[in-house]
Chains A and B, each alone.
Chain A
Amino acid sequence: MDYDFAKQYMNPKRTGNVIRDLNPMSKVNLMLVLGLSPFIVQNYFYGFGMVILFVIFSAVAGCFRSFFSLYWKVLLLFGVFLFVVKAAFAPGEHVLFRLWGICVTTESIQSGLNIVSLVLAFSGAFILFVKTTPMDEFTYALEKKGVSHMVSFVILSSFQTITDLKQNAQIIMESQKARGIETEGNLLKRAKAYIPVMGPLVLNAISSTEEKSIAMDARAFSAPVAHTFLSELPEVTVREKVIVILFDLAFVGLAAGRIVLWLI
């Protein structure tokens, strides 16, 4: 018999990609350090550098498409519009031009670029983390750190329930349409369709929890024993630990430098 399939579950889970194979805890750490560092550096060249870095990281991790499909919205909404709003309304001395009470100055453009670089850099770090870390790996790492398995359940189950409820909502909407409720038309008509869909959806979802809790207890969900895992993650290598600690030290150094500069 062919045991290859079974054997793949015996080894720790690896993808062969440098960024994806980082331990989820290291990823959280790096995300916070890289995403928050522009707030300390306070220089928009650095912030936009980080943005480009995250795009490159996403390409290296092989998730450029899914990363960018979310990130472009942030880039457009905040990169363009936030900059325009800031540039138009922030106060400043050196006037570049005036138009209908809007006054664009060099200072306002500076502050616009600053805030945009901060927002974009942090958003990039966050989206990159979400896209490179499957949630089950993240909850596994949390449990290894001693977090209760209830937390894992809540996190993973939330995502599953969202998909389920979305389907349910679709079904309820179809049935209500069959009953004659209109989901198109003017605002009042559309608003009236909301409650007949939402009511059954919420009540159904809430009353199903009882059966769910009995079913989970039948599978020893709350048994007070050590839990086993279907797949495991590799141990954190020394090299990875060193890299994370170096980044942390650099971050602490930056923060200290900023405080010293601020006090002088």
Chain B
Amino acid sequence: MKKFSKLTIFLIPIGIAVNVVGGQLAVLLKLPVFLDSIGTFVVGALCGGIPGALVGLGCGLINAISLPTLLPYTIIGVLFGFLGSFLAKKQMFSKFWKAPVNGVVVAIISTCIAVPITAVLYGGFVGTGASVIVTTLMAAGWDVLPATFVSELSSELIDKIICLIIIFFVLKAMPARFVVKLPNGKHFIKEEQ
């Protein structure tokens, strides 16, 4: 951890807290989405893959304190950190129309990892609203894997598209004098001609 700049180290706890508080705010406003990976993507995009992954890891562990069954999903958070950095390097946070595209890509990737965990470990049951869809489909004669896939993908798509749109606005509103000091800042600053 020594090789990170001081600002990066101070941003990691902030990213974790933004994840947790963002999720709680969504619960408070009774929104049907999680929105608990904003901090991971922001830190990943601004500071690089490893700090982003650390945010995902920390956030997963803190979420696991209140519900330990979420522990296996931490791996997805870690991956989001790297994804955030990758998308920033590919200039995918530069235009608004790219935000929903990012959302779809991220949702598909996270579904592909979440489905095996949910289906194998918990037999399709995750304890969220999506479980209702799973059990309905399974009662209609579907197999565990496709039923979990459909329900996960539908909830992930909504969640991640909204999430990435919020992240786009947050990154856009970030003052340039601050962004330029961060490791990935060069991907966000446009040179004045």
Contacts and interface: CB of A to CB of B under 8 A. Distances in A.
A115 B122 contact: yes
Interface stretch (B5-13, B79-87, B183-191): B5-13
A16 interface: no
Contacts of A199: 166, 169-170, 173
Nearest to B18: A202
B13 A89 contact: no
Contact of B139 (A78, A101, A160): A101
A212 to B, nearest CB: 5
B122 A148 contact: no
B25 A126 contact: no
A142 B65 CA distance: 19
A157 interface: yes
15 contacts: A70-B66, A73-B67, A74-B68, A77-B69, A82-B125, A88-B135, A126-B65, A126-B68, A153-B13, A154-B1, A166-B21, A199-B170, A201-B18, A201-B21, A202-B18
A127 interface: yes
Nearest to B66: A70
Nearest to B1: A150
Contact of B9 (A81, A153, A159, A166): A153
A206 B55 CA distance: 14
B157 interface: no
A85 B125 contact: yes
Contact of A148 (B2, B62, B131): B2
B129 interface: no
B103 interface: no
Contacts of B6: 213, 216-217, 222
A27 interface: no
Given A82-B123, A101-B139, A213-B10, A148 B69 contact: no
Given A187-B31, A187-B32, A197-B25, 10 more contacts: A88-B135, A89-B123, A101-B141, A159-B62, A164-B17, A165-B21, A194-B35, A194-B166, A198-B170, A206-B11
Contacts of A90: 123
B54 interface: yes
A260 interface: no
B122 to A, nearest CB: 6
Given A78-B127, A190-B29, A209 B11 contact: yes
B29 A202 contact: no
Contact of B31 (A119, A190, A209): A190
Interface of B: 1-2, 4, 6-7, 9-14, 16-18, 20-22, 24-26, 29-32, 35, 38-39, 42, 54, 58, 62, 64-69, 71, 121-125, 127, 131, 134-135, 138-141, 144, 162, 166, 169-170, 173-175, 178, 181
> Sorted from nearest, which 4 A-B pairs have the closest CB atoms?
A161-B17, A123-B68, A157-B13, A126-B68
Contacts of A119: 69, 121-122
A196 to B, nearest CB: 11
A222 B181 CA distance: 19
Contacts of A126: 64-65, 68, 71
Contacts of B175: 207
Interface string A186-219: 0100110111011101110111011011001100
A158 interface: yes
Contacts of A44: none
Contacts of B42: 202, 206
Contacts of A127: 65, 68
Contacts of A102: 139
Contact of B125 (A74, A81, A165): A81
A209 B7 contact: yes
A24 B77 CA distance: 26
Interface string A34-76: 0000000000000000000000000000000000001001100
A203 B173 contact: yes
B91 to A, nearest CB: 21
Nearest to B142: A89
Contact of A191 (B29, B62, B131): B29
